[in-house]
Amino acid sequence: MRIVRGSPSDERGAIFAPAKSEAVRSSKRRRRARTGEPACVAKIEASPLPVEEESAVECDKPETPADEVRDAEPAPTSDSLTIAEAAPSAGAQPLAEVAGTANGVPPVAEPPSAPPEAEPASPPTAPSSVPPWLRPTPPVPPVPPARPPQPPGAPPLPPGFKASAKSVKLPPKVPESSKQKKEREQREKLEQRRREVEAARPQLAANLTPELAQMLSEQLGVRVESLRAVGAGYATADDMARLHAGFPGERPETAVSFPEFDSARRLSTLTFRGVDVATKGVVAESSRGLTIPDTFGTPNDKPLLLVEGATDVMAAHTVGICAIGRSSALAGTELLAKLLASFNAPFIVMGENDANLVGQRGMRKLVAALANDRNATCQCALPPELPPKANGKDRKDLRDWIEFERTKRGVSLSDVDGLLKIGQDIANSLIARAERVEPRVQKQRLVINWSPDNVAAETDRVEQLFLEKAPNVFYQQQGRLVRISRHEGAASIATTSADDRHVQIAPVDADYLLDRLSRLAVFYEADADGIPSPIAPPRTVLNALLARGGELNFPILRALVESPLLLPDGKTIEKPGYDPKYHVWYEPRGTAFPPIPRSPSKDDAVAALDMLDELLENCVFESAVDRSSALAMLLSAAGRPLYGSGPAFGVTSPARASGKSTLTALGSLLTTGREPVRISPGSSEEESDKRIFALLQGGCRHICFDNLTDGRWLDVPAIAKAITESEFTGRVLGKSETRTASTTGVQWTFAGVGLYTQGDIVTRSLLMRLDMREERTTAHDWGRTHPRELLANRRGDYLVGTLTVLRAFQQAGFPSQGLPRCRFQEWSERIRSVLPWLDRPDPYANALKAEYEDPEADELRELLGAWIEAFGERAVLVADVIQIAALGGSRLRFAILGVTGGGDGPLNARALGKYLARHADRIESGLMIVREGESGTRTKWAVRAHRPAEVDSQFPQFPQLVSPTRTGPGASERFADVLARERERVHADERERAHERVTCEKGAGNCENCANCESTPSQGPRTGGAIPDEAQFVAEPEVAAAAEIPPLEPGELVL
């Protein structure tokens, strides 16, 4: 017998049914094994539906215990039924077994096509004589067909579907591998930890009371608002034990907690930092994330910083900078890539100056990954090298940098304005120091089907590809394709400053084009059967692109500068990168330059010039004119775009080690941060021509002829041409072709012991004289500060001070100072006249003095004076002159020997004739030699008086006393006030421009809804967002009345 429980509506419970024989069971098992039919499966006969792998309809046991069948098998029935009727036996009615379906679907049965025949009724029995559990039950009515479960996304079933009980063979389930099982368990564990952390975070945040927050604020050097911005909390040892927090050593008693989020800003884990013990921990078996402040995404005028750790994020928030912290130097790359996928504002990846260089490697790895992921140029920067802390530890990260600036300026955590100024200065410094990283590989490369039949079209296509996919990479300069090249400088091993990188304009060759093109495109070429196969970029296209020269569509690059520029129209270039209007690339190389004052006054110019005079404090000049010439050299270097050609600046002294090389290097150190290129002129004119042309082709802006022993080395036509002309034509080394290089923007200097100028270089140069007044000097004593150290620490202030002087004079309308004319008129009007305008001597007086003391002019004056004594104004032949001079002992003989170089030998008539022809009509001391007819084939010469000799009184005795410094105490502090006012003006303009981009509810009486307004101290500085476009500070020149120059002291101005 077998026990079959009734349906849920049957109250009579279970009944006994005859058990099936073993033969029947064996028969059914053999049939199922032969046909592969499952024990009980319902098949739906309806419109075909998409069936997923795990959506099959199977027979399950009913969920309720009342429908359970114990030790029972369905009676042998027709294969088309799902309701098995037990074989009737004596004293028993037919029973039904109900088979369930998967997912709790009720059993499905097909209704009979015809009503069943009436069965004979059982003989009546007495109710009292039959036990309740043996009483017969009526037949179970057929179950109506039910709709089977549909897979997700399946179309609805048709109205007239039929359900069939025919068996369906389903694919077997794929067993779960050990790896998949391990990954699933790991996901479940991470999710469990995340839920625990999310449940505990509100309580930890509530534990951070105002008193504890103030204590942590002073300990970490951040504001309380910054702690709240990152969601900091306070955890005890029990809290950390409950969260399974792991530490490298012993668990601290108390710790501050910081949440970390994933790329969707969903909580991932909690990190802990010990309050009393400097140890860090994290929730065990959890995934690390990012420290994201609640101000992320708020508009701001500063770039977003990607730093290491939560403390750097809070320190940046304290000074008004938005930052996102990664868990370590080499972590968080994928999370940041997803988080910043839709972030369009600029950002800078920051590293740390740690001893093992892990911070620098992590920074470069992250910025390269972000550049490739975004397919755009990204920036990275390191903090500057700072002195160590009082305890001897190094300052390596952003928090140390901010702490150093706060200590140096004396800014407390309650001084919000002071903190915001520090943040603005740090942001400007990072923008200037940032290194640009180009994407190495294009995410999607263009497929080009190469055909050698149409080279011109393919070249046009490659050029357009470079213009669209690689902007700001290729430029054209003077008919050639060039690029901006960066490489290591000549710094020491221990130096990691960004100033050590060397930036120059480099020509582009076919190999570099091949490397760039292979990142952007894939070339295919069809073989003989017409089947395309990949090939390397064809060099035919690359050579054709290089051969086009000036016909290219790439932007023009005229100059590469490494400091801000003041232009003749009053505008400035202060934004790093390429300026399409002026065709200039500005690369600050890590130096932070303050904003140039927009409208400086004459008093501001005086303060700036006094600060600039600090660089010359320990230079021992012979006169005040020499000091003024040195200042003119610095003004000429910084204001090079204001004039076309200008004089060369030379330094000489009667002894060695007087500071000549240092003085000639100040102009280059001020504008580029590097030493000038030092060369010798060359042994011949051809050699000088090759050296000068090679340097100009390389883009050198400061060239110095150093360690000269005689001024005649400079009296070379190539050097004279390079100083005065705007272009220099020379022969390309190794090729039979000539090219032209621009000399615009180049400053020429020279130095030597006992140096003097002669010939053409006299009127093209300003010579300064140093005199140590010592018998022997092995090294110059620069006192407390060396000019190189001053420029290394405050180069930005000195450069902006120089431009402040020039801009003040420019906005005054370049007032004329009534100076004598010189060879370089534009330089005289815009650079030379600045110093007399500010009560300094005329720097060109040295050139007038050098012209008067020219050895060649001195020899000519001696000859003219002796000629007048011997012949008066009578015209004579050269032979007559030689005959009279040969008498011996006369002044004329020695004058002729001086100009012909004959020494003590006989007089040379041919050499004297050539000398007179070369110096004809030249005026010296009011006399000049002229041609006065001919005698046969020979020329007669005479000396005539051009003007009275008293005109030489314009060269009075030059002062020989050493001029003390004009700096005076507090020069830097006075100009610092000028820069502070300019920074405040720039900040006000930035806030005003940012305010115009949002809707500010001024009618409500406050600006709390304005994200760009300056927040109150209680709210803390707002951070994040895009930086405004502040490429140039444009100031129209305001022409003011020329200021009257007060009378100078006697002997101060030499003219």
- Walk along the chain (1055 residues) in steps of 10 and give the mean pLDDT of each run: 44 45 63 59 41 39 40 40 36 37 40 44 46 53 55 54 53 79 88 89 91 91 92 91 88 92 91 87 90 88 91 93 90 90 88 86 90 86 86 88 91 91 89 82 74 86 88 86 76 41 84 89 84 88 88 89 90 89 87 88 92 86 90 93 91 85 91 89 80 83 87 83 86 73 88 83 87 65 76 89 94 90 90 93 82 74 84 85 76 82 75 84 82 81 68 38 46 72 73 55 44 40 36 34 37 32
Amino acid 567 reads L
CA nearest to 959, candidates 813, 841, 821: 841
**Number of C-alpha atoms within 13 angstroms, CB side, residue 363?**
26
Residue 702: phi and psi, rounded to 5, are -135, 115
Beta-bridged to residue 254, according to DSSP, are 236
Confidence at residue 146, expressed as pLDDT on a 0 to 100 scale? 52
CA distance 82 to 415: 84
CA distance 554 to 466: 9
Query: Six-digit token pair at 917?
Result: 């022809």
- Given CA atoms 614, 615, 618, 623 in this order, what sign does their dihedral have? negative
Residue 300: phi and psi, rounded to 5, are -155, 160
Beta-bridged to residue 505, according to DSSP, are 484
Please list, in sequence order, all residues whose beta carbon lies within 8 angstroms of the beta carbon of residue 429, skipping any fewer than 6 positions away. Answer: 384, 592
Which class for 868: exposed (0-12), middle (13-18), buried (19 or more C-beta within 10 A)? middle
* Contact indicator for 349, 448 with CB cutoff of 8 Å: no
Domain covering 186-287 assigned CATH 3.40.50.2300 in the classification = no
Domain covering 618-785+822-840 assigned CATH 3.40.50.300 in the classification = yes
CA distance 573 to 694: 28
Beta-bridged to residue 526, according to DSSP, are 532
Amino acid 878 reads V
Rounded to the nearest angstrom, the gap between the alpha carbon of residue 189 and the centroid of all alpha carbons in its chain is 41
**Exposed e or buried b for every residue in 268-306, given b needs 16+ CB within 10 A?**
bbbbbbbbeeeeebbbeebebbbbbbebbbebbbbbbbb
Cα angle for residues 893, 899, 903 (degrees, 5° grid): 65
Alpha helix stretches (DSSP H) within 295-387: 310-318, 333-339, 358-374
Q: What is the DSSP code (8-state) at residue 18?
A: P
Which class for 709: exposed (0-12), middle (13-18), buried (19 or more C-beta within 10 A)? exposed
* Contact indicator for 143, 83 with CB cutoff of 8 Å: yes
Beta-bridged to residue 482, according to DSSP, are 475, 507
* Segments of 88-197 assigned E as strands: 96-97, 162-164
Amino acid 710 reads D
Confidence at residue 995, expressed as pLDDT on a 0 to 100 scale? 54
CA dihedral 688, 690, 695, 701 (to 10 degrees): 40
* Contact indicator for 448, 522 with CB cutoff of 8 Å: yes
Count the neighbouring beta carbons within 10 Å of the beta carbon of residue 801: 31
- Given CA atoms 35, 40, 45, 50 in this order, what sign does their dihedral have? negative
Beta-bridged to residue 306, according to DSSP, are 324, 349
Helix, strand, coil percentages for the chain (3-state, nearest 5): 35, 15, 50
Confidence at residue 781, expressed as pLDDT on a 0 to 100 scale? 65
CA distance 697 to 693: 6
Three-class secondary structure of residue 17 per DSSP? strand
Q: What is the DSSP code (8-state) at residue 832?
A: I
Residue 447: phi and psi, rounded to 5, are -95, 120
CA distance 585 to 555: 11
Confidence at residue 228, expressed as pLDDT on a 0 to 100 scale? 92
Q: Do domains 186-287 and 618-785+822-840 have the same CATH topology?
A: no
CA distance 579 to 569: 15
Query: Six-digit token pair at 270?
Result: 């909690």
CA distance 756 to 850: 8
Helix (H) or strand (E) holding 978: helix 971-996
**Exposed e or buried b for every residue in 193-216, given b needs 16+ CB within 10 A?**
bbebbeebbeebeebbeeebbeeb
* Contact indicator for 755, 652 with CB cutoff of 8 Å: yes
pTM for this one?
0.61
CA nearest to 760, candidates 861, 856, 670, 865: 856
CA nearest to 628, candidates 813, 769, 776, 475: 769
Query: Six-digit token pair at 297?
Result: 């995404």
CA distance 557 to 559: 6
CA nearest to 897, candidates 879, 917, 882: 882
CA distance 267 to 139: 61
Domain boundaries, the chain: 1-113+131-153+160-169, 186-287, 289-440+1009-1055, 446-557, 618-785+822-840, 872-954
Query: Six-digit token pair at 963?
Result: 């001029």
CA nearest to 634, candidates 620, 649, 644, 622: 649
234 Ramachandran zone, left/alpha/beta (phi>0; psi -120 to 50): beta
